[in-house]
């Protein structure tokens, strides 16, 4: 069976909503533990305004410290053109731009309409191509919105068509509030992949209602081979009321490896990274397999 690529987002999405400050040194240690486990692609930070997300105020310092990190393909989220201007000063493999599939979430999350967001992204895309920086365009609340409820699939597909035509390097589809079901995931992702063609497509899953793994498998069946997850399942969107953490990286790796689907990840080292990620969070992480493994270890003592 085809292998998969894991993008761990715990340093960014996992920590962005933490009220307790996490130091640059702690973030560096988390990134190091993830790369030690064989995860090469890590979304390490975001260039959002520090007043909106104080936890990401150290983006410049963190990226400078990671500038010579071997084996790391660093990704940073950018919310606008100013964010890109800051991001391009650093060694990044990719910048991740986010828009929402609904107007209300877009206004509350980014402060722009969908059309304003798209217009600004097209400017960033042009600049990024000149700079030789790859771009990902992620569509938030693709399966459901905390403000508008059900999301018309055509809203998502229309955005995908436009960014595909514009020449984006990767497309991300996000279940921001963890509302998706396996049938919905398989149906929508098949349609997204058909439009995307040879443009890589990733899915970003939250595990709010405990369906993260089932949704990941449905995405795999649909043809998705890139998954965005967070070590130990920490995280959540500060602009999505009630949104719990991400799908845990170690849970996804465990499932795929048991199914003989290669992830390229060292599971034991990943558990160490997940333990460390959990220690940085003030919330109870959603990851499950970490606790199972700890019980096994106790039983063998």
**Which pTM does this prediction carry?**
0.95
Domain boundaries along the sequence of the chain: 5-300
Model pLDDT for residues 52-111, shown as the tens digit of each residue: 899 999 999 999 999 999 999 999 999 999 999 999 999 999 999 999 999 999 998 888
CA-nearest of 146, 24, 23, 7 to 77 is 7
CA dist 161 and 78 (Å) reads 21
Task: Specify the DSSP class assigned to residue 6.
Answer: E
- The owner of tokens 């991740």 is 96
Beta strands per DSSP E along the chain: 5-8, 41-46, 73-78, 94-100, 134-140, 170-175, 201-205, 226-229
CATH number of 5-300: 3.20.20.70
How many other C-beta atoms are found inside a 10 Å radius of the C-beta of residue 193?
A: 20
Torsion of CA 7, 104, 99, 162, to 10 degrees: 130
Annotated catalytic sites, by residue? 237
- pLDDT tens, position by position, 131-156: 999 999 999 999 999 999 999 999 99
């Amino acid at each position: 069976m085809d292998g998969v690529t894991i993008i761990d987002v715990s340093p960014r999405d996992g920590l962005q909503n933490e009220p307790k400050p996490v130091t640059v040194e702690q973030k560096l240690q988390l990134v190091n533990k993830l790369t030690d486990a064989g995860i090469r692609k890590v979304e390490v930070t975001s260039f959002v305004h520090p007043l909106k997300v104080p936890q990401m105020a150290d983006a410049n310092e963190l990226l400078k410290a990671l500038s010579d990190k071997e084996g790391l393909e660093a990704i940073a989220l950018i919310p606008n053109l100013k964010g890109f201007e800051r991001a391009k000063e650093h060694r990044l493999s990719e910048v991740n731009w986010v828009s929402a599939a609904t107007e209300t979430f877009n206004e509350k999350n980014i402060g722009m309409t969908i059309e304003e967001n798209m217009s600004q992204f097209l400017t960033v895309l042009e600049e990024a191509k000149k700079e030789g920086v790859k771009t990902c365009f992620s569509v938030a609340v693709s399966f459901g919105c905390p403000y508008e409820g059900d999301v018309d699939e055509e809203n998502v597909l229309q955005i995908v068509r436009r960014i595909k035509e514009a020449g984006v390097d990767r497309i991300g589809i996000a279940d921001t509030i963890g509302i998706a079901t396996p049938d919905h995931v398989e149906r929508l992702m098949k349609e997204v992949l058909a439009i995307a063609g040879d443009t890589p497509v990733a899915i970003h899953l939250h595990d709010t209602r405990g369906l993260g793994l089932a949704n990941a498998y449905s995405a795999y069946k649909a043809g998705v081979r890139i998954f965005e997850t967070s070590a130990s399942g920490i995280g959540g969107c500060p602009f999505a009321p009630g949104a719990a953490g991400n799908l845990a990286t170690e849970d996804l790796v465990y499932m795929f490896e048991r199914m003989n689907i290669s992830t390229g990840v060292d599971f034991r080292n990943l558990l160490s990274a997940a333990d460390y990620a959990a220690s940085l969070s003030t919330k109870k992480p959603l990851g499950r397999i970490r606790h199972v493994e700890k019980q096994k270890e106790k039983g063998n003592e």
